[in-house]
Structure 1
Amino acid sequence: MEPGAGAACARSGSSWKPSVYGPPRNMMKLKRFLLRYYPPGIMLEYEKGGELKTKSIDLLDLSPETDTEKLVAVIRETEPLITESRTAQLKQLICRLQEKLSQQDDGRFYLFKTLQAHILPLTNVAFNKSGSRFITGSYDRTCRIWDTISGEELQTLEGHKNVVYAVAFNNPYGDKVATGSFDKTCKLWCAETGKCFHTYRGHTAEIVCLAFNPQSTVMATGSMDTTAKLWNIETGMEMAMLEGHSSEVVTLSFNTDGNQLVTGSFDHTASLWDVVSGRRVHMLIGHTAEISSVQFNWDCSLIATGSIDKTCKVWDMRNMKCMATLGGHQAEVLDVCFNYTGQLIATASADGTARVYSAATGLCIARLEGHDGEISKICFNPKGSHILTASADKTARLWDVASGSCLQVLGGHTDEIFSCAFNYESDIIITGSKDNTCKIWRMQWRDDVEQYYL
């Protein structure tokens, strides 16, 4: 089978299923295509029984070399919505994705703006989906919403009584912001007006991590009180208390379908939870020290866990077994992340280095060396070609994934950098620092989403 042909998988609702098992063609009507660049895929918006629904064809293995004709044939065999009359358009969209993947992104970033964002150190930063706005949390007890291009402060979210530590947009929608605080509460805000919709109460210690599910219906919070909680976005009510860890819950992540949550704890374990029932379905046991970071890959087949024991473990979701232990670091692993295909894992360590591993083999394929202090944050750009690291040495660095070489040092902060992020198009970077400022680094601006109406 040609590269990319095996990656055509249709997803509808909250569960994965080959669309060949769907209803007959005459019961569904395709309305339009939505093109998703990262990870590569085509969303199908269709009408069924008078309701408008969507599903996606994920093309995680797509490359510029993929045989488009063969890939279209595979999709046609398994997706009833793609009729013969739509074949030419499908091929056109796949070619557009291939063009996007083949684009060179070797431009250099320049310092676009420095914002005196807060009166106390920043904790975390995050973009909305398009990158038009970003948020900053701070020890000054506020979260602020910023316009990326103008640098204008759009909203100051006030009301917490202690450090605002965890912040997030409800991407891909971007109309809500969540803030988790050391005051033991989480708040949900309107991203446009700054109005507080809900204050989630119930934790008995600091909230240090939070996440929206991809459908923006549920929010999860993790706390130093050893529990995580699930909250209903619409009603503001607690849905479930996730009890079972014996120490602080410091990291969590939803899977792509939003029906499972993984939590990582200082008790050396990670736990997998069913979101609907709130029940723990499995414990991931094997680390010998505190868990620092957990993440699902895109297709929900793997979980990565980073630990203070200097390793990262990769867990196979089919059998809940550890399939690889990624070693080599000389100090604590502080952060881990997958690239969009789930084939690569990057780790950041207190030893001042980062590493890139093959998820399949567990082999280290690149060592990222050059920082003079611990690296607390690491992320791939959405395209998967570059890695961004934030360090206590007051710099962020941009790295080439394939070679492991440092492409650029982003300097200028006067204290350690706590947080960093790429926008969706990979042409803007935000860095947030203990020096109370955030910096906007810009390469260029491109269109974000293309829509194709039938």
Structure 2
Amino acid sequence: MAEGHTKPVLCVDATDELLFTGSKDRSCKMWNLVTGQEIAALKGHPNNVVSIKYCGHSGLVFSVSASYIKVWDIRDSAKCVRTLTSSGQVFSGDACAAASTRTVTSGQGEHQINQIALSPAGSMLYAASGNAVRVWELSRWGVRGVLGGLAGDPRVAGPHCSPQGPRAGPEGAGGGPGLPPALPLQMFELGEGVTGTVGPTHNFEPPHYDGIECLAIQGDVLFSGSRDNGVKKWDLERQELVQQIPTAHKDWVCALAFVPGRPMLLSACRAGVIKVWNVDNFTPIGEIKGHDSPINAICTNSRHIFALSSDLTVKFWSARRLPSRPR
């Protein structure tokens, strides 16, 4: 178990050697998974850190807070080398360093960034905010295009490649209690030379009955988890719903992740429970009581499963100890 944050832990990323966490305490922490020690604290965020990604190709860490994405070079004293904004601006160094108190509102023309995702090669960064997803080309630190036509607060899944070329998304957005059914998942086709504003090429139906909280994508299979307590399995090639479990959990489904090397999906909920599913036939295999507080995010590396919670801790389990068949 990793402890050190002073407020709920909201986001996580991991390699086989390093763990990265972000929290409501406005900081990120970097942990050495070999020794179990905290090795760096990335501070100076204007508000909660809601998304964090590490790029193994460049050695850069991207952390999201309010309308900013801070870019950290962990090879150079874990220094903030650039700051990106939701509107597409780029600043050299740390543009948030002067924010000693919590910033509640965004600047003019800026919006809260909900989530980020990196392309497999680490060359593109996708940032979801407002009603669009901005596509950053990291080789030149510029915006290549915008995925538009969204409503609500979008979430972005990692892009994947198909015979037709790279696809971004899908994105999901939706209402809340008492609102109409959530908006559908949307898919975008991104060709090599695509620039400007790109509209969705497909809407996945039927939608969840409440807002989508999490997405997990592997090959041509996508899983979506929602505040309606359900999980849906989609086929991206056939562009259709394959299976759904409306009562996958007894509370909001807050996080999804795949177990590397095994046909398993993990889902986690606000009640602190992690469930294990067979990816192929979407049947339950087992469950873990992860935390007594809501689980905010989960991730995996080749050996471990990580779950972080509002109880300020990150817990991890050996992936080899997961059941391989229903108990």
If the length of structure 2 is used for normalisation, what is the TM-score?
A: 0.74
Instruction: Provide the residue aligned with 1:108 in structure 2.
Output: none
Alignment of 1:416 onto 2:294: yes
| Alignment partner of 1:437 is 2:313 | yes
Q: 1:118 to 1:278 in 2, by over 3 A?
A: closer
The yes-or-no answer on 1:197 pairing with 2:63 is: no
Query: Does the 8 Å contact 1:251/1:294 carry over to 2?
Result: no
| Cα separation, 2, equivalents of 1:362 and 1:185 | 32
Match of 1:312 among 185, 205, 228: 185
Greater gyration radius: 1
Contact kept? 1:262, 1:294, Cα under 8 Å: no
Residue 230 of structure 2 is aligned with which of 344, 348, 353? 353
8 A contact 2:7–2:24 mirrored in 1: yes
Q: State the match for 2:158 in structure 1.
A: 295
Q: 1:155 Cα shift?
A: 1.6
More displaced, 137-146 or 247-256? 247-256
Counterpart CA distance in 2 for 1:295 and 1:185 is 17
Among the aligned pairs, what percent are the same residue? 15
Post-superposition offset of 1:305: 1.1
Residue 98 of structure 2 corresponds to none
Residue correspondence of structure 1 range 359-438 to structure 2 within 5 A: 359-368=236-245, 369-383=247-261, 385-423=263-301, 425=302, 427-438=303-314
Give 3-state SS (helix, strand or coil) of 2:44's partner. Answer: coil
Note the alpha carbon deviations across 1:359-380, whole angstroms, 9 max, x for none: 0222222324431111122222
CA distance in 1, matches of 2:30, 2:319: 22
Measure, in 2, the Cα distance between the counterparts of 1:115 and 1:291: 30
Q: 1:428 to 1:294 in 2, by over 3 A?
A: closer
Distance 1:160 1:417, change over 3 A: same
Structure 2 segments unaligned to the other structure (5+ residues): 96-108, 175-181, 322-327
Determine if contact 1:141/1:160 at 8 Å carries over to the other structure: yes
What SS class does the counterpart of residue 53 from structure 2 fall into? strand
| Partner in structure 1 of residue 38 of structure 2 | 154
Q: Is 1:327 paired with 2:206?
A: yes
Change in 2 beyond 3 A, CA 1:198/1:442: same
Q: CA separation of 1:229/1:294 partners in 2, compared to 1, >3 Å: closer, same or farther?
A: farther
How far the C-alpha of 1:358 sits from its partner, in A, is 0.4
The number of aligned residues is 290
CA shift, 1:415, in A, is 0.6
Whether the 8 Å CA contact 2:114–2:153 is kept in 1: the answer is no
> Do the aligned partners of 1:396 and 1:411 also contact (CA within 8 Å) in 2?
yes
Counting helix residues as a fraction of each chain, which structure ranks higher?
Answer: 1
Q: CA RMSD in A?
A: 3.4
The residue correspondences of 1:185-224 to structure 2 (distance < 5 A) are 186=70, 188-190=72-74, 195-198=77-80, 200-201=82-83, 221=84
Are 2:51 and 1:166 equivalent residues in the alignment? yes
Contact conserved, 1:311 with 1:332, CA < 8 A, in 2? no
Instruction: Name the structure 2 match of 1:90.
Output: none
Tell whether the 8 Å contact from 1:136 to 1:143 is kept in structure 2 after alignment.
Answer: yes
Deviation at 1:421, TM superposition (A): 0.3
Q: Deviations over 1:406-438 (max 9, x none)?
A: 222221411101110010x2x310000001111
Letter paired with 1:317: L
Partner of 2:117: 253
Question: In the superposition, relative to structure 1, how do residues 127 and 259 fare at CA in structure 2: closer, same or farther (>3 Å)?
Answer: closer
Q: Which amino acid aligns with 1:227?
A: S
Tell me which residue corresponds to 2:28: 143
Judging by fraction of residues, say which structure has more strand. Answer: 2
Shift of 1:347: 0.8
Partner of 2:3: 116
Give the whole-Å Cα distance in 2 for the aligned partners of 1:157 and 1:236: 17
Alignment deviations for residues 86-145 of structure 1 (CA, whole Å, 9 cap, x no partner): xxxxxxxxxxxxxxxxxxxxxxxxxxxx333423211212112xx122122222333322
- Contiguous gaps of at least 5 residues in structure 1: 1-113, 202-220, 239-244, 446-454
Letter in 2 for 1:124: C
Distance 1:310 1:183 in 2: 23
**Which amino acid in 2 is paired with 1:438?**
V
Residue 87 (structure 2) aligned to one of 227, 234, 241? 227
Q: CA deviation at 1:282?
A: 5.1
1:310/1:327 contact within 8 Å kept: no
Sort the Cα spacing of 1:133 and 1:400 in 2 relative to 1 into closer, same or farther, 3 A.
same
| 1:127 partnered with 2:17 | no
Kindly provide the amino acid, as one letter, of the partner of residue 232 in structure 2.
R
- Cα offset for 1:280? 4.8
> Displacement of 1:281 after TM fit?
3.9
Task: Measure, in 2, the Cα distance between the counterparts of 1:331 and 1:350.
Answer: 5
